Amino acid sequence: MRLPPIDPARWNAVWTADLDVLRRLRASGDKPEIEREIDVSFRGDYVTLKRVADASSNFGFSVSDFTERDEEGAPFLLLVRHQPATDDAMRELTETYLQIEDTFGVECDGWGCVAQAS
């Protein structure tokens, strides 16, 4: 599958926000080279999120949670992958979730992980 290019201004805004999260993780003692489960959540209509879930392994993810109606009554998809939280690995993760947004017409609702200190 050929993925669309990411608008540079959008990339800079999203990557700046992701770097802030990474700085907070590291300030709390996180060792970014340690692999951990990182989750990425998406919002959109149910049928489209189902397509993302079905294609998730093509992007290195597996489905952690997929619900037709969350507590807010909206469809919700949570994907996970195991990887380190180094700048290079997170740059690739950010690029991937932005490409998923553009390819499928969904919205990334954020990513998260637990800090790894040992």
Q: pLDDT digit string (tens) for 10-40?
A: 999 999 999 999 999 999 999 999 999 999 9
Domain boundaries, position 50 = 34-112
| In a domain? residue 63 | yes
| In a domain? residue 1 | no
Residue 77 forms beta bridges with which residues? Answer: 42, 66
| In a domain? residue 91 | yes
Query: Using an 8 Å Cβ cutoff, are 60 and 96 in contact?
Result: yes
Could you tell me the pTM of the whole model? 0.90
Give me the helix-helix angle, 46-55 and 87-104, nearest 10°: 130
Predicted confidence at residue 63, as pLDDT, reads 98
Give how far the C-alpha of residue 56 lies from the chain's centroid of Cα atoms, to the nearest Å: 11
pLDDT band at 4 (very low <50, low <70, confident <90, very high): low
- Domain CATH number, residue 91: 3.30.70.970
| In a domain? residue 22 | no
pLDDT tens sequence across 41-83:
999 999 999 999 999 999 999 999 999 887 888 899 999 999 9
How far is residue 36's CA from residue 85's CA, in Å, rounded to a whole number?
8
